[in-house]
């Protein structure tokens, strides 16, 4: 991101910028499923239908508005996007290109379309950050065909880097059966847009070290990870494999619309506490969420709550500042 953009952003706090994020790739690659996974609409994923044309949705990220374009990937649609690039591709800030790694019969077709899309970006003189999602990299399947898929991904990765010769390119392996991977990939891409995200991330890391916890993740309502810190791989594994389920469980409680005085979820497991807590800000109704992992000790959760309140104030100022 260049300095002028940063400057404009800082100046224009009240006048928010709208960012455009594009999901594209072949039909059946999993674009709509990825979006639904972030929204924790897991029951809808099983029933997902091919997307007809371009579907748009908007959401907020740290006060900025994001417009998400889900471009249905069937051939006839792809042709019409390429014929009207100005209508579909222009002003894209982030492009997520989804490749189904389980369907090697379509790798060539998928790369071909990717290169055509990037050509259109060049024609339009835009340089979005491009995220390549090697999708359907499922945890269960990996064991049986792991080696083959890994080497196929490597070859695809090489081809893309070589052909595109494009600086703002990032690669991820994702699966709807590993929601954290999707959350992490989307967060890495999206937070590039928001200048204050970096400071926020540092503040969260500092808070985590002050808490003397095993690890911590803070997300927003749309599953975007604003910051995290893990003491070791074990803590990372415990937190990353549970965060999506804590968010989902919390959705269930929120739907009950009870007055949540005691609004934290505590799980004691393996001699550790998992503490999940909404961070409600003064100025926005949308809460943020924190998941902390802490070793089981007598002072435990009570001392944590005091530090938490202090942090919530700083967090509030940063998010709104």
Ligand X SMILES: Nc1nc2c(ncn2[C@@H]2O[C@H](COP(=O)(O)OP(=O)(O)OP(=O)(O)O)[C@@H](O)[C@H]2O)c(=O)[nH]1
Catalytic site residues?
Answer: 74
**All residues at 6 or more sequence positions from 208 whose CB lies less than 8 Å from its CB, including other chains:** 215, 216, 227, 228, 229
Cβ within 8 Å of residue 244, ≥6 positions away = 40, 179, 180, 183, 223
Query: Per rule CB under 5 A, is residue 222 in the interface with Mg ion?
Result: no
Site mask, Mg ion, residues 36-55, x = CB under 5 A? Answer: ---------------x----
29 touches ligand X by CB under 6 A: yes
Residue with tokens 């700083």: 314
Cβ atoms < 10 Å from Cβ of 191: 20
* CA 221, chain centre distance (Å): 11
Least distance CB 26 / ligand X (angstroms): 7
User: Is the CB of 70 or the CB of 214 nearer to Mg ion?
Assistant: 70
Size of the site for ligand X (CB under 6 A): 22
Label the pairing between strands 288-295 and 272-279: antiparallel
| Terminal Cα distance for the chain, rounded | 20
Beta carbons of 203 and 196 less than 8 angstroms apart: no
What stretch of H or E contains 304?
helix 300-320
To ligand X, the closest distance from the beta carbon of 180 in angstroms equals: 13
Nearer to ligand X by Cβ, of 73 and 128: the residue is 73
- C-beta closer to ligand X: residue 73 or 131: 73
Q: Which partner from the list ligand X, Mg ion, none does 176 bind, CB cut-off 5 to 8 Å by kind?
A: ligand X
Closest to ligand X by CB, 95 or 197: 95
State in angstroms the smallest separation of the CB of 110 from ligand X.
11
Residues 8-27 binding ligand X (CB under 6 A) are 25, 27
Cα angle vertex 68, ends 182, 122, to 5°?
A: 100
Taking CB under 6 A as the criterion, the residue among 136, 173, 236, 272 binding ligand X is 136
Nearer to Mg ion, 51 or 92 (CB): 51
Task: State the CB neighbour count (10 A cutoff) for residue 58.
Answer: 11
Site for Mg ion in 162-221 (CB under 5 A): none
Site for ligand X in 44-83 (CB under 6 A): 45, 48, 50-51, 72-74
SS3 content of the chain, % helix, strand, coil (to 5): 45, 25, 30
Footprint of ligand X (CB under 6 A): 25, 27-33, 45, 48, 50-51, 72-74, 98, 135-136, 138, 175-177
């Amino acid at each position: 991101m260049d300095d002028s953009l940063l400057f404009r952003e800082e100046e224009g706090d009240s006048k928010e910028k709208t960012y455009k994020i594009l999901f594209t790739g072949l039909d059946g690659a999993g674009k709509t499923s990825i979006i639904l996974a972030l929204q924790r609409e897991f029951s809808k994923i099983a029933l997902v239908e091919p997307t007809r044309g371009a579907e748009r949705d908007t959401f907020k990220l740290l006060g900025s508005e994001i417009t998400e374009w889900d471009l249905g990937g069937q051939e006839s649609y792809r042709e019409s996007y390429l014929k009207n690039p100005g209508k579909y591709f222009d002003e894209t800030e982030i492009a997520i290109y989804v490749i189904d790694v389980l369907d090697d019969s379509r790798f060539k077709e998928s790369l071909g379309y990717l290169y055509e899309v990037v050509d259109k970006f060049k024609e339009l003189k835009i340089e979005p950050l491009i995220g390549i999602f090697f999708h359907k990299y499922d945890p269960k399947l990996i064991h049986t065909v792991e080696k083959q898929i890994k080497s196929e991904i490597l070859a695809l990765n090489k081809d893309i880097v070589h052909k595109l010769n494009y600086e703002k390119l990032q690669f991820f392996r994702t699966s709807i059966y590993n929601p954290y991977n999707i959350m992490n990939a989307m967060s890495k891409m999206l937070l590039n847009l928001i200048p204050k995200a970096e400071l926020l991330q540092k503040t969260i890391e500092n808070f985590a070290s002050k808490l003397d916890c095993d690890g911590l993740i803070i997300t927003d309502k749309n599953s975007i990870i604003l910051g995290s810190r893990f003491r070791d791989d074990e803590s990372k594994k415990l937190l990353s494999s549970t965060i999506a389920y804590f968010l989902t469980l919390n959705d269930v409680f929120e739907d009950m619309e009870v007055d949540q005085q005691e609004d934290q979820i505590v799980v004691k497991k393996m001699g550790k506490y998992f503490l999940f807590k909404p961070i409600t800000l003064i100025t926005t109704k949308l809460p943020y969420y924190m998941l902390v992992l802490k070793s089981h000790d007598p002072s435990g959760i009570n001392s944590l709550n005091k530090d938490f309140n202090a942090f919530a104030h700083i967090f509030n100022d940063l998010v709104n500042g």
